[in-house]
Amino acid sequence: MKRVGFLFIVLIYTNNILGQGFFEGNDIISKTYSQRWELDSIDKKGTFRLVSYKSIYVAPARWTSNPNEKPQSENPTNSATETIDYDIVEVKFQLSLKTKLLQSIFWGKGDLWVGYTQIAHWQIYNEALSRPFREINYEPEIIFKYPLHIKAFTGEFKSIGISFTHQSNGRELPYSRSWNRVIFDLSYEIDSWIVSVRPWIRLSDGEKDDNPAITDYIGDGELNLSYSYNRHQFYTVITHPFNQFQGGSVQLNYIFPIKGHLRGHLQAFQGYGETLIDYNNKQTTIGIGVSFANW
């Protein structure tokens, strides 16, 4: 339990820095899409300011219907031969930050960002296994964003973008998982809604592919839907393969105020690929915790 206490101290300290310094005291949920990505000239803040990217949260209780105790892959060298007795309840947390490298490039409007997201699943309650981290996913990105101001359907297309993303779990065989993608992005804002369509192209890993059929399970793109009301936020991430009806996932998130920048976070997931090691493991999960910065 000392580890959990230390984790909370680190995240609360991070929350204080984000709230007091990088966000200048403003509520991150109240920010418009343009402010989050500094799309308009009035929102430009310069380069090398560290700000939140995706959600930053910790869920002390995350339950799964189907723990992946013997991970398998289409590549035989990446298939486990022994079963591990995992608990169905564990700790999940996510840290996600970004910073702008270049500002106002390409006709004085585009920005180049670098982002980093880390998601950890921690078997903290599993004393029999000495409380190991079951899975940690690392995801660095290079992101280009270009603003749009195209009115449509009483809303506005806000930006187009493209990013190069590497995601891996940093583990040895047979548990190693990784993939590289080029992700395209088109974002639209209407009232308090933000909609982002994000198809991707997976780059080949050749014969050493850890997870050859990953797109058949996780999919070829995602749809992000976000809605904010006062200090409450709802967002959904939906993935799906383009070439079949099976596969994909739905993640539902509800963030609600507790005190200051600290908020509660309720998350539900159903489908494939909550983590890389689970890319072909279908499950339903529910987690409850606190959120420090939101998407």
55 assigned to active site: no
- The percent of the chain in helix, strand and coil, each rounded to the nearest 5, is 15, 50, 35
> What letter would DSSP give residue 29?
G
Q: Coil, strand, or helix at residue 281?
A: coil
Q: Coil, strand, or helix at residue 37?
A: helix
How far does the chain reach from its first CA to its final CA, in angstroms?
29
H-helix or E-strand containing 74? Answer: none
Catalytic residue among 166, 204, 226, 232: 166
Residue type, 65: S
- Distance CA(105)–CA(157), nearest Å, equals 20
Catalytic residue among 168, 178, 196, 204: 168
Cβ atoms < 10 Å from Cβ of 173:
12
Q: What are phi and psi of 190, to 5 degrees?
A: -145, 120
166 assigned to active site: yes
Q: Which residues are catalytic?
A: 166, 168
